[in-house]
């Protein structure tokens, strides 16, 4: 995927800069972008996460790299923000909901991942070619 919107690039730049100051930041930190539409208003949620497996198993339809971090895009594709490229990448990941990860009879269940809220999340609204902040949740700074 490719970013078509300079304002969105600026937002991502600020988000990555913010995350650099967080105690959990490392070169493998990934980001989820979820886009939905409600009454002619796009809602764009951007969240940092340390387990790419979780993002890839949630029906991602595109990705891009920005400042050396992978951003996985889910939801709808707003063409005002993104365009699809012909670049392809195969990701290897564990689908934790797969039957092979479920305990067999008599086995002790194994916790493969723990969803935690230590990571940051930004919610933006997009309307009339402009982004407005809806909500920011972070434990950094």
Residue 18: phi, psi to the nearest 5?
A: -60, -45
Question: Does pTM surpass 0.85?
Answer: no
Using the Cα atoms of residue 68, residue 121, residue 90 and residue 113 in order, give the sign of their dihedral: positive
What are the pLDDT digits (tens) for 2-56? 898 999 999 999 999 999 999 889 888 889 899 999 888 999 999 998 766 666 6
What are the pLDDT digits (tens) for 76-121? 877 888 888 877 766 665 555 666 666 677 777 655 554 555 689 9
Cα Dmax for the chain: 57
Structural domain boundaries in the chain? 2-137
Which tokens is 72 given? Answer: 């996985």
């Amino acid at each position: 995927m490719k970013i078509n919107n300079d304002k969105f690039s600026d937002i991502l730049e600020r988000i990555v800069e913010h995350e650099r100051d967080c105690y959990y930041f490392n070169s493998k930190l990934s980001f989820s972008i979820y886009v939905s539409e409600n009454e002619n208003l796009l809602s764009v949620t951007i969240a940092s996460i340390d387990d790419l497996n979780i993002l890839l198993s949630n029906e991602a339809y595109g990705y891009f790299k920005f400042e050396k971090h992978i951003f996985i895009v889910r939801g709808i594709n707003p063409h005002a923000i993104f365009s699809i490229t012909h670049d392809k990448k195969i990701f290897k990941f564990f689908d934790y909901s797969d039957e092979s990860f479920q305990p067999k009879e008599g086995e002790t269940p194994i916790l493969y991942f723990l969803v935690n809220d230590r990571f940051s999340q930004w919610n933006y609204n997009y309307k009339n070619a402009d982004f407005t902040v809806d909500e920011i949740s972070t434990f950094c700074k």
